[in-house]
Every structure is written in C-alpha cells, then in structure tokens.
C-alpha cells in the first residue's frame, strides 16, 4: 500500500461575471428576447458555488455594443 503526503483541500470556483456574459452572448437574439419577455431579466446561476449573475435588457444591449466594437 502506498501512502502519499497529505494535501490541503480548497474550494475554488472558476465562475465569473465575464464568463456569464460570454455564455449570454452565445445565445441567439430570439432566445434572449424570449427570456427577457417572460422574466424581465436573465439570471445565470453557478451550480457549483451558487453565485447568481443578473442581466437586464440594458446590460445585454451594452454587452452587444461592446462586442460589436471589438469586432470592428
């Protein structure tokens, strides 16, 4: 039997608002509009750590504007 030196276990989640923004921008405009119409905002919840990132219509329009500027 092989015993290894003990190692510290640490909780670390890699979610972030930026990653959530990228997920949101990968959705179609139709899907975004449908969710906004139903709920008024879009929430993305990390199933690992429980963090919730909220986006309203203005947030999404700003994200799209920034993305469009980066392309040009």
pLDDT tier, 67 (very low <50, low <70, confident <90, very high otherwise): confident
Q: The whole model's pTM is what? A: 0.77
Ramachandran sector of residue 61 (left: φ over 0; alpha: ψ -120 to 50; beta: rest) = alpha
For the chain, which domains are there?
17-71 (3.90.1280.10)
Read off the pLDDT of residues 12-64 as tens digits, 9 standing for 90 and up.
899 999 999 999 999 999 999 999 999 999 999 999 999 999 999 999 999 99
DSSP-derived pairing of the beta strands 42-45 and 52-55: antiparallel
């Amino acid at each position: 039997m092989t015993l290894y030196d003990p190692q510290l276990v640490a909780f670390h989640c890699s979610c972030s608002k930026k990653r959530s923004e990228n997920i949101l921008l990968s959705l179609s405009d139709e899907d975004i509009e449908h969710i906004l119409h139903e709920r008024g905002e879009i929430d993305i919840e990390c199933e690992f750590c429980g963090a919730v990132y909220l986006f309203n219509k203005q947030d999404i329009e700003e994200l799209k504007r920034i993305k469009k500027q980066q392309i040009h």
